[in-house]
Each structure stands twice: as C-alpha cells, then as structure tokens.
Amino acid sequence: MTCDYITLATTGVQGLHPYQAGKPIEELEREYGVSNAIKLASNENPLGASPLVTQALQSGFKDLTRYPDSNGFALKKSIAALHHVEMDTITLGNGSNDILELIARAYLTSNDSVVYSEHAFVVYPLVTQAVGAKHIVTPAKNWGHDLEAMQAAICEDTRLVFIANPNNPTGTWLKSAELKQFLDNVPEEILVVIDEAYAEYVEEDDYPNCIEWLSEYPNLIITRTFSKAYGLASLRMGYAIANKAITNILNRVRQPFNGNSFALLAAEAALADQDFLAESIRVNKEGMTYLTQQFDEMQLSYIPSVGNFISVNVGRTGGEVYEELLHEGVIVRPVANYKMPNYLRITIGLPEENQRLIAALQKVLAKLTA
C-alpha cells in the first residue's frame, strides 16, 4: 500500500476516534470467563420493553422483504398525537444520534463553530468534528451546563448550540426559567438543539416541556429517543421535533430508509403502552434511591441525577475500578473521556442488579484500598 488512506480522509474525520460503546455482556463473558454478568453501562431499560412491542414485532415479519415506510407515517402520527404537534415537524432517525448527525451535516461547514458544554454527551464533539466545524467548549457549572458561559461563548461564526437536558453522563438538568432566558438571548439564526434523551424520567416540576416552546423559538430542535425509557435501544429509533423548514431540511439529508420497519412498529407500540413507561420510571426512581443511599453509606460522593444513571466518584481512577468490576461480572461505564477520571457512570438496574453492583463495588474498593 503506497497510499496513506488515513491522510486522504477529510481533516475533520482524521481527528475522530471510533465511539467507545459499553461492553456487551457476551464479550465480557467470552473474554473474562465469567457467567451471569450484568450490564449497567449503557442506560438501557432494565425492564426491557413493553409486551406490546414483542407483539408488534411479530406482525412485521410478513413484510420482511419490503422496504420500510420511508415517511414513517404511522409512527409520526403517534408522536404527533403524544406531543400535540403537526406531523411535518417530526424527523425520524436511526436512533437520535442519527438526528444529531443530520443536523450537523445539514447546517455546519468548517467555517462554523458549535457551542457545547464540558462533560456533555460525546456525540456532540463527534458530529461537530466529523464535518470539520470548530468546537467551543464551555466550562461546566456544578457538573451541568453553564448557560451564561454558553451564551457568552457564542460568537460571529456560531451556527449551533448543543444542550442535553438532562445531560449524560452527569445527570444534571436545566430548569424552565434558565433555559428560556438563554433562548431569549440566542439570535434566531443560531440553532439550539435540546437533546431530551432522558426526558421521560424527569419528574421535577420546573423541568421544561421544550416542545411547547417551538412556536416561540423557531431555532429550537428537540430530540427524543426510544432507546432509553422505552427500552428499544437495539432497534435504533429516535426523532426530532422542529419547525417545518428545519424538518424539511433534515429530511433532505436523511437516508430514505433510516428507520427500519421493525423499529417503526416497535416504537409505535411502545408509545401505546404508557403504563409500561410509568412502571419503568417507578423502578428507576426506586433504584436511584437505593443506590444513592448505599453510596452515602459507603461515603462515596455522586452527582445528583434525574436520569436513569448516576455518576459516582470512586475516589481513585475509575478505569481501575471498572476493570475490577468486570472480573466480578459487572459492567459499568468509566467516563475518563468526559474529563471525569475518578467517576463511574452506573445505569440504574433492577433491584437485584443494583444490589449486585453495590456488593461488587464494596468488594472491589476494599481490595483496591487494602
């Protein structure tokens, strides 16, 4: 090979690193020779998905050979009814990560800059870098987004702002009033993406329903996903809600069949089972209470979270504790790549999984400090 195919890639892409996903259970069992491993690493729903989803998937087999409905009519209809929006404000994505990439591809060039926060979801730097746009990373405040700093960071060439509410991996969230004040101060030609991947879990009174703000702020793009509370991470389905012009643009760059038929059917069925969603939220809340109580007893500090995960300070390099936990058959997520080297992000599991995590963590920390 005489040609360097790395340096042939665009400058932005050359600066990328492949996304590090949570370790799959099968991989751990294969590599470490453990069995009955549990995974609390990727913020998946420990209850699985609604039984209605399983039923819906069965009905998909008869059309296995057909292309999906490229416009996702039935699912968009359900989403529109849920949020009281019009169907032509919805863009479906192959997971909401797909949407984030569509936004970057449609609106950013190497002449533009993007503002996002320190400790914010890793896909924002990824999609920004991929199109060669400039990164403006603002310091966090109490681990969360510092909206004043973000506003001050906006400059001449800023085209886009990414905000995760709540944020992953910190679990921090922004209140209605502060977010509204921020939006009031952002010029209309700068797009503001509010990533609400964990919105379903948040029960705080002053957590905003940003979808209701769309008519007031035409530069808003709200993204949601079926991967978390709805339990459909394997199928890849997410969506954006934005004004009709932005939606039109996103649909121009979207691959025609980015949402597969099974994902479309499953997502529609998942929306129809709001009882399952309520139960998922209940189990999460209970698990969160248990874990934080245990961390308090173990004198481990953590970042209070409104999501289905919590980042805990293990008092030493997270990667080291992560490795030891793998030997105990427990997969969590080290977050050194988020500039949180002493933290582990732990997804709230079923009660027995949470208990196993705590027992393993106690054992591992005792061993490492001995």
Ligand X SMILES: *Cc1c(COP(=O)(O)O)cnc(C)c1O
**To the nearest whole angstrom, how small is the minimum distance from the Cβ of residue 32 to ligand X?**
25
Residue 97 makes contact with ligand X by CB under 6 A: yes
Task: Count CB-CB contacts under 10 A for residue 163.
Answer: 24
Distances in Å between the Cα of 274 and the Cα atoms of 228, 268, 337, 348 are 14, 11, 35, 20
Nearer to ligand X, 195 or 200 (CB): 195
In the bound state with ligand X, the residue whose beta carbon lies nearer, of 126 and 368, is 126
Q: By CB under 6 A, tell whether 197 contacts ligand X.
A: yes
Residues 210-229 that bind ligand X (CB under 6 A): 225, 227-228
Question: Rounded to the nearest whole angstrom, what is the least distance from the CB of residue 15 to ligand X in the complex?
Answer: 21
Three-point CA angle 185, 189, 190, nearest 5°: 65
Q: Which of 107, 121, 143, 276 binds ligand X (CB under 6 A)?
A: 121
- Nearest residue to ligand X by CB is 95
DSSP element (H, E) containing 367: helix 351-369
Q: Using CB under 6 A, which of 95, 144, 287, 329 touches ligand X?
A: 95
Q: Closest separation between CB of residue 174 and ligand X, Å?
A: 13
* CB of 42 vs ligand X, minimal distance in Å: 8
Q: In one letter, which amino acid is 113?
A: S
* E strands, the chain, in order: 38-39, 90-93, 113-117, 134-138, 158-164, 191-195, 220-225, 238-242, 302-303, 309-313, 330-331, 333-334, 343-347
Calpha distance 102→307 (Å, rounded): 25
306 binds ligand X, rule: CB under 6 A: no
Tell me if 96 contacts ligand X by CB under 6 A: yes
**In whole angstroms, what is the distance from residue 45 CA to residue 226 CA?**
10
Interface positions with ligand X (CB under 6 A): 43, 95-97, 121, 164, 168, 195, 197, 225, 227-228, 233, 238
